[in-house]
Amino acid sequence: MVQHEGVFADSKTLVDCVPVADPAEIDERFGQRDFDLERFVRNHFLLPEDPITGTDPSTVSMEWYIDELWEYLIRDPVETREGETILELPHRSVIPGGRFREIYYWDSYFAAEGLAVTGRLDLIEELAANFASLIERFGFVPNGGRVYYTSRSNPPLYHRLLDLLAHRRGPEAVLEYLPALEREYEFWMDGVGIKAGDSHRRTVGFKGGVLNRYWDDDPSPRVESYREDRELAAFADREPERLYRDVRAACESGWDFSSRWFAGEGIESIRTTELVPVDLNAFLYGMEYSLAGWHEHTGDGARAEKYRKRAIARRGLVDRYCWDDEAGFYFDHVWTERERSDAWTLAAAVPLFTGMASQTQADGVARTLEERFLRPGGLVTTLTESGEQWDTPNGWAPLQWMAVVGLAGYGHEELATEIGGRWLDLNRSVFEETGQMLEKYDVTGGTGEGLGGEYPLQYGFGWTNGVALALPNLFY
């Protein structure tokens, strides 16, 4: 009822509240419903708060502000109280900020790149241990640290977090997490033996092996966006369960939301589960090679070879179904229609980030990024302006980072430096104007503040801060 009535502008507010009395007692009082709904909620729950504020940019540098901001984004170990949705965590974590008051999976990796620059390796170790704990409990790393996120994951970057730690501490520092990483891999590969043309959870069968897609095991409205999903289902002329699952699968991708997932012009045409995303399969290629390398280090040559063969097979399938030789670019594959998507997206940079592309493919992607995606403030996310936040005119820190690292790794240092420099200049100019670090930015001009989405622009912001610190370190 609270969600239907729109008591809070942001649906996530209610599900992040903490009850101040026994939940059964609150439920009994609620059943007597002769009261003002908003006052009832405020009397019986502690509402979440965002303690992060901006600063006076005339008195401090952007780098100083980011370093001070970690104090507000680092969270102590979590113990869940009765009636609370937050997940227990045995170690400290880093949150993005704003409405995102809990740990998030792929956000944590990009924040960690910045933490490494500032020497906070102990915190990166705690993030790795938290992820291992979550995998032990759920079999995977949930999208975020709330109960309502435990039916889906996020772009699988645990192996990159471990790579980062191993680079700084040595391989021995991460070997204890190898069983957790293998278990996460098994989660993504559930259904590995399916035949061509079939699908099972996150796997899709092809002749010669399987590729992966995004999915969610719960085909119901998102708890944290209940009103929005119900309103969408009332508007869309399609089966609600399929709609909800495609919406949730887009949330697993991290790209929530983008025209990338649409069959038509609007979100009512979303079809995430019908796509084999090039970025997801590049991440899993990276995971397979990481597993092969760590097993080689431990002396288990047979397991190392198994993962190496899996990676080689995946690369061959991605080349066949996602690479367009004429365009010189990667595209998602619409497996239900046996054709490539026509959406040009920055996901094509991820095969360079994970080393899956050939030199020729990397050269083609580099040309396209420079000619079609590069804007005054960095790389735009897609070439479509839809009103969704993962589309034009927005740029996002994780995508800039992966593109810059990927391009530099294939010898395109000049373009990588140009992209990184434009992005950092945009971060700095917006900070000097507002005293804030943003979740997303308009890279095409204007104020630079990101646009669109189903919630207001957020400040903080974990992955923006991490990338802002890591990019200069990458080159200098």
Contact 329, 306 (CB under 8 A): no
Query: What counts of helices (H) and strands (E) characterise the chain?
Result: 18, 16
What does the H/E/C string look like for 55-90?
A: CCCCCCCHHHHHHHHHHHHEECCECCCCCCCECCEC
How are the residues of the chain apportioned to helix, strand and coil, as percentages rounded to the nearest 5?
A: 50, 10, 35
Paired with 47 in beta bridges are none
Rg (Cα) of the chain, in Å, rounded? Answer: 22
* Cα angle: 125, vertex 131, 134; to 5 degrees: 145
Spatial neighbors of 35 by CB under 8 A, at least 6 apart, are none
Helices 121-138 and 105-117: crossing angle in degrees, nearest 10, is 160
Known catalytic residues are 256, 439
Closest to 390 measured CA to CA, from 468, 450, 459, 305 = 450
Contact present, 399 and 391 (Cβ < 8 Å): no
